[in-house]
């Protein structure tokens, strides 16, 4: 038997279901928002950057004429079957930017309508579909209620929030969200979306970079700050069963950040008396990262060397980011990894984390 | 001969001369600022974080009774002689936060007074002292005039600006500063200081972390954004002789950032038609990083592996950060490096970059 020929089972942890139109949510909204969206559409936080190449795969147009990523049946044919994907974990990229909108009630109403639409029009369409419900971060107590409302649906496997934020996610104002995640046994998933738009903080620590290339390159900054905040604020001591997935933000910034954090903790831990272990130990036990877009050093060995510097084989989860422009093909990335590690990253880690059957 | 016994010559690229008192600058200021500072002292941008352990070495008190780091003669005895430092490159940490002050005229006046004080009361005190003049970034044209005013002094070897900023440093508003650096043949040195204070952007991409431990851990974010901005805005095409030193921000975040930047550039370079080479090539040829605080992975081999992933032996410059709490002892860090690389990092790279005799 040639193990190189084994067809790997895949759980794809970041697949983006798109809207057919801005009116998709109308039947799922309550007044006054239903009439409003009917007249004016709905709006997220807005992003002051545009990709020079568009942001969808050019080959993913469904024959149905629906927009790319908006046809649940075609996604089965175009993504799930050819790549042997057992579960596609659906994740609305456009919806999460609603947390950048200033009106918390509006944002909560849109999220709530979306979650009903999502369960009805996506999760029910195929046994291969599971996914993440959306919440709006402006009002964490309301977000917690929304998690309690729909989080127990059997096809819901996580709660997604956006990377952009006015405050780092470890801070206490967000804790009701984590209580609800734990109560519903759902990991928190963080995904980029509209960083720097709407009411979000500027997308880097020195304000607004000039274009999409720079913005996209700097996206891991939100994750670095959220991760440091989660650990140092003691979130993982307070919620020992909470798991957090950092989606689509790269992975290799992690080792140097943890070296810096552990080193600083040794000297400065007087400020965090609630921490009982080294910061990196909390990260190893509570945090996961999806692979796409995987870094591609000129020397492929450097990626393997980097994977030795953190618990990559247990912390990484495969994702393709379908149908986005920077889709990672499961048959083309991470080819240099030993099969045993690939099995974990492509399938076993996600199966365990999301409790998939 | 045992090469381990060789006493390495050292150029320390980040030594912090401190003020004796808030009144040191008074004789060097023009009115109306002289009277103002005499009455009220002077103020930088202010930082909303305090270290739980103070920020100076506890053993560095001069017998003269002056504050730690404020006695030029004692610094020769306590730092320069025992560590075989050929040149201590002096760098005022407290001064640079002036760029966080809203009043650009005030900030420029304080910087100007400081530079005269610095040349007179520090650089003239020992042949071992060279250093960086300070500029205020609020008014780049005025900053350029200040570089022209004092930049040709033979003991001035660089121009220091602060990491905190309202905008990434590659953007065009800052270009007059780089023109002046190039005109005076001086590298630009960036050093952390009061990130998140005054008019600076929040210190992370998601706003204000809660305490000094988190703030200090997240400091490299400003550098990552500045570096991406320098490259993508074409600063190194426009000023081919400009060199930039990233001081005290860690070093090992660089390889994963460059992987991400190069990868994105391949897809998105339509937005930066002025770039003629890969982003990482500009960084290799124009950027330097000081070593302190060097990351300390549990497995020391990981540091060496990381150093293979960028041109560490040519881009790193030794620094101790004397007299700060996280001082790196040249006899204790980087012991696992081969002697030839240590010679470059401890001495030769800085000698060449700063054109020291």
Facing A201 at nearest CB: one of B167, B205, B256:
B205
Residue of A199, A204, A269 to mutate for B, most B C-beta atoms under 10 A: A204
Distance CA A317, CA A97 (A): 23
B window 287-316, beta carbon within 8 A of A: 293, 295-299, 302, 305-306, 308-309
Establish how many alpha carbons lie within 13 A of residue A144's alpha carbon, considering only the half-sphere containing its beta carbon.
13
Helical (H) or strand (E) element with A225: helix A220-232
C-alpha A50: how far from chain center: 20
Stated pTM of the model: 0.96
Cβ contact B205–A209 (<8 Å): no
Closest residue on chain B to A266 (Cα): B213
Tell me the C-alpha distance between B314 and B316, whole Å. Answer: 6
Strands B287-290, A287-290: pairing is unpaired
Residue B179 Cα to chain centre, angstroms: 19
Q: Are A212 and A49 in contact (CB under 8 A)?
A: yes
Q: Could you tell me the pLDDT band of residue B2, with boundaries at 50, 70 and 90?
A: very low
Contacts with A204 from chain B: Cβ below 8 Å: 168, 201, 205, 221-222, 224-225
Percentage of chain B with pLDDT > 70?
A: 99
CB spacing of B326 vs A210 below 8 angstroms? no
Whether B259 sits inside 8 A of A252 (CB atoms) is: yes
CA B55 to the chain's CA centroid: 17
How far apart CA B21 and CA B40 sit, in angstroms, is 12
8 A C-beta contact, residue B70 and residue B19 = yes
pLDDT of residue A135: 98
Tens digit of pLDDT at every position of chain A (357 positions): 344 567 899 999 999 999 999 899 999 999 999 999 999 998 877 888 988 887 788 788 999 999 999 999 999 999 999 999 999 999 998 899 999 999 999 999 999 999 999 999 999 999 999 999 999 999 999 999 999 999 999 999 999 999 999 999 999 999 999 999 999 999 999 999 999 999 999 999 999 999 999 999 999 999 999 999 999 999 999 999 999 999 999 999 999 999 999 999 999 999 999 999 999 999 999 999 999 999 999 999 999 999 999 999 999 999 999 999 889 999 999 999 999 999 999 999 999 999 999
Nearest by CB: B211 against A165, A208, A271: A271
DSSP conformation class of A280: H
Q: What is the ipTM of this complex?
A: 0.95
From the list A205, A257, A267, the residue facing B203 with the nearest CB is A205
Name residues 94-123 of chain A within 8 A of B (Cβ): none
Mutate to test the interface with B, among A164, A165, A170, A217 (most CBs of B within 10 A): A217
Beta strands in chain A (DSSP E): 10-15, 85-90, 129-134, 156-162, 188-191, 244-246, 287-290, 316-317
A201 to B206: CB separation less than 8 angstroms, yes or no: yes
Least Cα separation, residue B346 to chain A (angstroms): 22
Report the run of H or E that residue B244 belongs to, with start and end. Answer: strand B244-246
> Which residues of chain A make contact with B328, given a CB cutoff of 8 A?
none
Asked if residue B1 has pLDDT above 50, the reply is: no
A197 Cβ under 8 Å from any chain B Cβ:
no
- The shortest C-alpha distance from A173 to chain B (Å) reads 12
**CA of A260, closest CA in chain B: separation in Å?**
6
| pLDDT one-digit tens code per residue, B119-156 | 999 999 999 999 999 999 999 999 999 999 999 999 99
Q: Are A257 and B253 within 8 A, CB to CB?
A: yes
Let me know if domain B10-353 sits in CATH 3.20.20.140.
yes
**B260/A295 touch (CB, cutoff 8 Å), yes or no:** yes
pLDDT band, residue B5 (cuts 50/70/90): low
Query: Shortest Cα distance from A82 to chain B (angstroms)?
Result: 25
Predicted local confidence at residue A4, as pLDDT: 52
Residues 35-54 of A with CB under 8 A from B: 51-53
CB A286 within 8 A of CB A237: no
B193-248 pLDDT, tens digit each? 999 999 999 999 999 999 999 999 999 999 999 999 999 999 999 999 999 999 99
Domain spans of chain A, in order of start: 10-353
Q: Tell me the shortest Cα–Cα distance from B87 to chain A, in angstroms.
A: 28
Mutate to test the interface with B, among A200, A256, A304 (most CBs of B within 10 A): A256
At B309, the pLDDT band (50, 70, 90 cuts) reads: very high
pLDDT, position B217 = 97
A165/B213 touch (CB, cutoff 8 Å), yes or no: no
Whether omega before A16 lies within 30 degrees of 0, making that bond cis, reads: no
Among chain B residues, CA nearest to A216 = B264
User: Is a pLDDT exceeding 90 seen at residue B51?
Assistant: no
Note the helical H segments in B184-271.
Answer: 212-218, 220-232, 235-238, 254-268
In chain A, residues 219-278 whose CB comes closer than 8 Å to chain B: 220-222, 224-226, 228-229, 232-233, 250, 252-253, 255-257, 259-265, 267-272
């Amino acid at each position: 038997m040639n193990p190189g020929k084994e067809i790997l089972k895949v759980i794809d942890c970041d697949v983006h279901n798109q809207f057919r139109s801005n009116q998709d949510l109308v039947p799922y909204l309550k007044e006054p928002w239903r009439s409003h969206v009917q007249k004016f559409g709905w709006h997220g936080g807005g992003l002051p950057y545009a990709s020079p190449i568009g942001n969808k795969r050019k080959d993913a147009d469904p024959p149905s004429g629906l927009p790319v990523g908006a046809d649940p049946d075609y996604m089965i044919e175009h993504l799930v079957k050819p790549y042997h994907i057992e579960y596609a974990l659906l994740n609305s990229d456009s919806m999460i930017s609603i947390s950048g909108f200033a009106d918390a009630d509006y944002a909560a109403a849109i999220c709530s309508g979306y979650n009903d639409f999502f369960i009805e029009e996506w999760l029910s369409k195929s046994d291969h579909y599971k996914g993440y419900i959306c919440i709006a971060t402006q009002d964490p107590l309301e977000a917690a209620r929304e998690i309690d409302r729909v989080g127990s649906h059997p096809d819901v496997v996580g709660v997604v929030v956006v990377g952009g934020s006015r405050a780092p996610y470890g801070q206490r104002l967000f804790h009701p969200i984590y209580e609800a995640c734990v109560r519903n046994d759902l990991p928190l998933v963080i995904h980029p979306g509209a960083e720097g738009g709407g009411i979000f903080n500027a997308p880097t620590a020195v304000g607004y970079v000039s274009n999409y290339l720079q913005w996209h390159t700097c996206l891991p900054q939100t994750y670095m700050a959220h991760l440091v905040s989660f650990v140092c604020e003691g979130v993982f001591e307070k919620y020992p069963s909470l798991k957090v997935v950092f989606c689509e933000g790269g992975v290799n910034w992690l080792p140097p950040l943890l070296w810096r954090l552990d080193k600083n903790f040794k000297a400065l831990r007087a400020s965090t008396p609630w921490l009982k272990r080294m910061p990196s130990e909390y990260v190893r036990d509570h945090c996961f990262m999806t692979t796409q877009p995987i870094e591609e050093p000129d020397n492929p060995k450097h990626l393997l060397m980097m994977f030795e510097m953190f618990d990559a084989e247990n912390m990484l989860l495969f994702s393709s980011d379908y149908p986005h422009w920077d889709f990672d093909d499961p048959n083309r990335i991470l080819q240099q990894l030993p099969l045993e590690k690939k099995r974990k990253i492509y399938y076993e880690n996600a199966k365990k984390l999301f409790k998939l059957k």
